[in-house]
Amino acid sequence: MAVATFDVFETVLVRALGGPEHVAEETGRLLRARCVLPVSPAVYAAARRAAQDDRTPDVAVHPRLADLARDVADRLGVPGAAAHLEAAELEVERAACRAVPGAVARVDAARAATGRGVVFVSDTPLPAAFLVEVLRREGLFRDGDDLVASADTGSSKQHGALFDVVRERLGDPAGELRHTGDDRWSDGVHALERGWQVTLDGSAHLAGRERLLAAGGRATDGLAARLAAAARTARLQGAAAGLDAGLVSVAGTVALPLFAGFARWVLDEAARRGLDRLYFVARDGEVLREVTARLAASRPGAPELRYLHGSRRSWTLASAGRPGHDVLADLWVPDGLAVEDLSPRELLHLLDLDPDEAAALDPAAVPPGTADRPLGAGAPAFLAALASGPVGAEAARRAGGRADLLLAYLDQEGVTAPGRVGFVDVGWTGRATRALEDLLTAAGRPVPAAHLFVGLLAPAQRTMGDELFDRSAGWLLDEARGRHARSRPGEDPVMLVETLAMGGEGTTTGFAERDGRVGPVLSAPVNPATAGWGFADYRAALDLAVAAFVDGDPPGTAVDLRPTAWQQLLDLWRHPTRAEALAWGAQPYGEDFANQRWWPLARPLTARRLLRRAGVGPATWREPTFWLAGTVRLSPGPVRWAARWLGRVDRSRLARVPLRVRRELLLRRRG
């Protein structure tokens, strides 16, 4: 009769606090918090590792946890605390252990295939009775199963003798012995030498960018390692659900630390500022609110979290209709553009009009054939003609109506009701926020007590004005306050974040009254940019990662996760895997201010595109390359080499070469 055996850790159990190496640090934190030890978690972890190493010069014999605890207590000068050390490690392990996704089904299948219980086999100092308790809690251990632990038998898998113990305990069965484990040496070679069938599966190990994330555990009181463990869980669950592996990786290793870090900061800021309600602004606020709500569920006294429809365009157009405001004299123009850069169609778009509507009001407003030509030097005359004619009057009328509807919507949603209100958004320059506050102030409504953003760029202080800026804060970057982006030129932090925060519905273009309530008018029921690249897989994977992180019961201590978020963002942007480049690179990104033209973030470089990047060829060859590393990853070998060479050329440094040469010659002459 066949018998199935399973390794325990990284095969059927993993730890929600990261990898095996993170157990000692977490135990040290617990002991410090309880005033059992005066040393730091890092010092405790080092003593724990040293005790393990000294007691296992020959890996054939594994020490018991009680013996290790006595050794560590002696090393730290607290021999009377050994029992506390042992109990603390068991407490940490008990809280951290989780079944590997899919492991319960695999173990059940093994029981069904063999017609008998399974045997769990583990090299560990933990007592067998403790492991049985945890395995049973996780649904892995059933009546009829058995467990053999190295510390209880004086032998180990690493030398192979533990497999002999298992065979003896089973009564030297004549049938097949089938072992499943994760380690090529401990679970593979020694079992094969004894004639066992072996299945090796290392998928439960931290992998790729998960390891990079986990490496920051010590600097973040273990939070980064817990995020890595959650990313691993999402990866394993996502694979079982058939989700795209590249998108699952981005969701778990990049989006999770970014949004979980931001959500923790938002909740901390809300408590510090005494906020009663937080409004998450569409569309990026969709995912921000969902993640924050999951983390807020375990925080007593967390503020109410609401979703608020709005957009830069809808707020700006409505604000233009406030009393005493000249719609055309103070026309909002997107960052980086001037009125002269716009075509009549684009300028009219900023007034909530199109060329056909303008022509119906004034046939001379947009001469035939000029709607899509840049205005250039004729921009002032074009604006003056609009302002003095029926088109300007219609623009003012529409803006006034939009102002009334937006104010009614804000009143209806409780934004202007009593209480301290905060707005949450991705941010950047603060222009939309400035427009909203101008409208509220002109209408005599109260303004929010705080605006909390993922990031604020350097122009934000000037755009907002000092008073509004003082009520605002950025998390990932806040350049006017000295918290600058860690990205290089060409690595746009706006693009980095907004691709991760994409919302599922269309843009809010305005508001309308229906059945006595004011609701949003959307450009489309579903955001067209979510089609064709796996948006649903990405959001499903992010949900899995957030759920796993919350399930790991992360501590509520204030920890700065910004360096971690930057590290993960930039690693994706600079070093994507091919699976990530294929899946994430298919996401469309809008180049123009109205998002009317879209290109994928990354696609293979052709020779023509490469020549254009080098400055060769006509301008008609131009196609934007938003994500260079993703593009290079997808390109043929020779093109990859050329693109990487071009990417390494720092033109500013090349320009300094003559000056460096002159200075070097000067030094040599002096010598």
How far apart CA 619 and CA 610 sit, in angstroms, is 13
Q: Cβ atoms within 10 A of the Cβ of 465, count?
A: 13
* pLDDT at residue 492 tops 90: no
CA 58 to centroid of chain Cα atoms: 43
**pLDDT, position 192:** 93
**pLDDT, position 45:** 96
Q: How far apart are the first and last CA of the chain?
A: 87
CA 149 to centroid of chain Cα atoms: 38
Comparison of pLDDT for 156 and 623, the residue scoring more: 156
**pLDDT, position 605:** 79
Lowest-confidence pick of 102-111, 302-311, 363-372, 397-406: 363-372
* pLDDT at residue 505 tops 80: yes
Segments of the chain assigned to CATH 3.40.50.1000: 3-200
**pLDDT, position 648:** 55
List the beta strands (DSSP E) in 227-376. 277-281, 304-308
Q: Running DSSP on this structure, what letter comes out for residue 342?
A: -
Around 35, how many Cα atoms within 13 Å sit in the side-chain half-sphere? 0
| Pairing mode, strands 97-99 and 119-122 | unpaired
Average pLDDT over residues 626-647: 76
Residue type at position 118: V
Largest CA distance in the chain: 100
* pLDDT at residue 225 tops 80: yes
Q: Which residues contact 461 (CB under 8 A, 6 or more apart)?
A: 469, 480
* pLDDT at residue 595 tops 70: no
Q: Running DSSP on this structure, what letter comes out for residue 79?
A: G
**pLDDT, position 663:** 66
* pLDDT at residue 621 tops 70: no
CATH C-level class of 213-308+414-530: alpha beta
* pLDDT at residue 19 tops 60: yes
pLDDT tens-digit series, residues 42-70: 999 999 999 999 988 776 678 999 999 99
* pLDDT at residue 460 tops 60: yes
* pLDDT at residue 298 tops 60: yes
* pLDDT at residue 458 tops 60: yes
Residue 304 vs residues 22, 278, 296, 394, 474: alpha-carbon distances, Å = 35, 6, 9, 40, 21
Closest CA to 92 of 13, 9, 26: 26
**pLDDT, position 489:** 82
Q: What are phi and psi of 603, to 5 degrees?
A: -155, 160
pLDDT tens-digit series, residues 380-418: 999 998 888 999 999 999 999 999 999 999 999 999 999
Q: Are the C-beta atoms of residues 449 and 470 closer than 8 Å to each other?
A: no
pLDDT tens-digit series, residues 534-586: 999 999 999 999 999 999 877 777 899 999 999 999 999 999 999 999 999 99
**pLDDT, position 36:** 95
Residues in the chain: 671
Q: Are the C-beta atoms of residues 33 and 53 closer than 8 Å to each other?
A: no
- Band (pLDDT 50/70/90 cuts) for residue 476 is very high
Return the HEC string of 507-559: CEEEEEEECCEEEEEECCCCCHHHCCCCHHHHHHHHHHHHHHHHHCCCCCCCC
How far apart CA 131 and CA 148 sit, in angstroms, is 10
Return the HEC string of 173-219: CCCCEEEEECCHHHHHHHHHHCCCEEEECCCCCCCCHHHHHHCCCHH
Average pLDDT over residues 5-30: 95
| Pairing mode, strands 97-99 and 13-15 | antiparallel
Kindly report the average pLDDT of the chain as a whole number.
Answer: 90
How far apart CA 81 and CA 563 sit, in angstroms, is 36
Confirm whether pTM is higher than 0.85: yes
How far apart CA 191 and CA 157 sit, in angstroms, is 8
**pLDDT, position 616:** 66
Q: Which residues contact 151 (CB under 8 A, 6 or more apart)?
A: 62, 63, 64, 65, 124, 125, 126, 127
Q: Are the C-beta atoms of residues 584 and 566 closer than 8 Å to each other?
A: no
Residue type at position 362: D
SS3 label, residue 264: helix
* pLDDT at residue 645 tops 90: no
**pLDDT, position 442:** 95
Domain covering 3-200 assigned CATH 1.10.600.10 in the classification: no
Q: Which residues contact 26 (CB under 8 A, 6 or more apart)?
A: 17, 41, 92, 96, 222
How far apart CA 491 and CA 473 sit, in angstroms, is 22
Scan for tokens 């901390």, then name that residue. 268
Q: Which two tokens stand for residue 547?
A: 């759920």
User: What DSSP element (H or E) covers 108?
Assistant: helix 103-114
SS3 label, residue 340: helix
Scan for tokens 């973040």, then name that residue. 220
Residue 164 vs residues 12, 155, 196: alpha-carbon distances, Å = 22, 9, 11
**pLDDT, position 671:** 55
Average pLDDT over residues 183-187: 91
Of all residues in the chain, the percent with pLDDT exceeding 90 is: 70
SS3 label, residue 228: helix
Scan for tokens 């604000």, then name that residue. 319
**pLDDT, position 165:** 92
Lowest-confidence pick of 197-201, 415-419, 583-587, 592-596: 592-596
Q: What share of the chain is helix, strand, coil (3-state, %, to 5)?
A: 50, 10, 35
Q: Which two tokens stand for residue 320?
A: 């233009």
SS3 label, residue 64: coil
Q: Which residues contact 494 (CB under 8 A, 6 or more apart)?
A: 428, 455, 457
Lowest-confidence pick of 192-201, 562-571, 587-596: 587-596
**pLDDT, position 652:** 54
pLDDT tens-digit series, residues 313-344: 899 999 999 988 888 877 878 777 888 989 99
